Amino acid sequence: MSAQFAQPVRFDEQQYLQDQQLKNKRFGLQLWRFANFAIFMFFALTNYLIRQTQASWPPAGVDRLDPTLPAIFSVVLLLSAIPAQLVQRSIRHDNPGAAKRNMIFTAILALVFLAGLVMIWKQVPYSGSYSAIFFVMTGFHAVHVIVGLLLFTYVFVKTSRGAYSRTAYWGIEATVVFWHFVEIMWAFYFVVLYIL
Average pLDDT estimate for 57-67: 82
Residue 79 in this model has a pLDDT that exceeds 90: yes
Q: What's the confidence (pLDDT) of residue 66? A: 87
Closest CA to 135 of 154, 150, 113, 120: 120
Q: Which CATH class is domain 20-57+67-195?
A: mainly alpha
Q: Kindly list the domain boundaries of the chain, sorted by start residue.
A: 20-57+67-195
| Nearest alpha carbon to residue 119 among 138, 146, 92 | 138
How far, in Å, CA of 49 to CA of 112, rounded? Answer: 32
Tens of pLDDT, residue by residue over 28-51, are 767 777 777 888 888 888 888 888
